[in-house]
Amino acid sequence: MDKRQRALPLLLADITGAAREIADYVSVGREAFLADRMRQRAVIQCFEVIGEATKKLPDDFRSAHRQLPWRAMAAFRDKLIHDYFEVDLALVWTTASREIAAMLPELERLSSIPDLKKDA
């Protein structure tokens, strides 16, 4: 394995960990989130980690687990990176507070699959 590659269990841990952090950061509520630039940047960086790690997941794994929006995760990362000068914080908030909450249980389930852990 190339030094820059990460094993599947580590990629899932990266994605799940960043999703948990996002859930924690937005737990303060919409108004507090929108008023806190540091919190906004932390959430955006976590979305970047999620999107980048998602791109590194093996195609067969993503195909086998279509219940998660892998392409949308990667596309959101791209939007945040390439259009950094016009990030829509309302969209970041909505995605963080709704989509992450909806995906987190499935991410945690996948991260806990024993057969995946032995490859780490």
Sort residue 15 into left (φ over 0), alpha (ψ -120 to 50) or beta. alpha
Instruction: Tell me the three state secondary structure of residue 5.
Output: coil
Contact of 25 with 39, CB cutoff 8 Å:
yes
Annotated catalytic residue within 62, 82, 98, 109? 82
pTM of the entire predicted model: 0.91
Q: Is the model's pLDDT at 113 over the cut of 90?
A: no
Across the range 112-119, mean pLDDT stands at 71
pLDDT, one tens digit per residue, over 27-67 is 999 999 999 999 999 999 999 999 999 999 999 999 999 99
The stretches of 36-120 forming alpha helices (DSSP H) are 37-56, 59-64, 70-82, 89-94, 100-111, 114-117
Averaged pLDDT score across all residues of the chain: 93
Q: Which backbone phi and psi does 83 adopt, to 5 degrees?
A: -115, 40
Q: Is the model's pLDDT at 83 over the cut of 90?
A: yes
Annotated catalytic residue within 37, 77, 98, 109? 77
Across the range 92-110, mean pLDDT stands at 97
Q: Of 34-38, 58-62, 107-111, 114-118, where does mean pLDDT reach its minimum?
A: 114-118
Q: Is 77 a catalytic residue?
A: yes
Q: Is 82 a catalytic residue?
A: yes
Rounded-to-integer distance, Cα 59 and Cα 73, Å: 14
Question: Which tokens is 102 given?
Answer: 């909806």
